[in-house]
Amino acid sequence: AQSVSQHNHHVILSEAASLELGCNYSYGGTVNLFWYVQYPGQHLQLLLKYFSGDPLVKGIKGFEAEFIKSKFSFNLRKPSVQWSDTAEYFCAVNPGYSSASKIIFGSGTRLSIRP
């Protein structure tokens, strides 16, 4: 079955530390990839997306993600985190040219930033 794995359930960092959150998926064909962020008490917002082209995509608030097709991965990175990045982060995969129901979310990674 298609799945999305986020192996880090809870990450704790100090301000200014670098961040990398892992995301791996099991679908072998063309995929569209997303990272969403959910700040405490708020709804999910799109951080960035990959549809095609340059595998290194930049999103809002200094986040970026790299699509590595051979590793079935789409890891999220930020060179220097801030306290305001405290949130839950979700990776999502939509197999290309598939139906609207095939948007599979990972279980999320909770990021806590120590001031």
Partner 1 sequence: NAGVTQTPKFRVLKTGQSMTLLCAQDMNHEYMYWYRQDPGMGLRLIHYSVGEGTTAKGEVPDGYNVSRLKKQNFLLGLESAAPSQTSVYFCASSPQLAGGLYEQYFGPGTRLTVT
Distance of closest approach, residue 84 Cβ to partner 1, in angstroms: 19
Beta strand spans in 1-108 (E)? 4-5, 10-14, 19-21, 24-25, 31-38, 45-50, 56-58, 64-68, 73-78, 87-95, 104-105
- Find the binder of partner 1 among 32, 39, 62, 76 (CB under 8 A): 32
List binders of partner 1 among 68-87 (CB under 8 A): none
70/101 with CB nearer partner 1: 101
Kindly list the residues in this chain that would bind partner 1 in the complex (CB under 8 A).
Answer: 6, 9, 32, 34, 36, 42-46, 49, 51, 90, 94-101, 103, 105-108
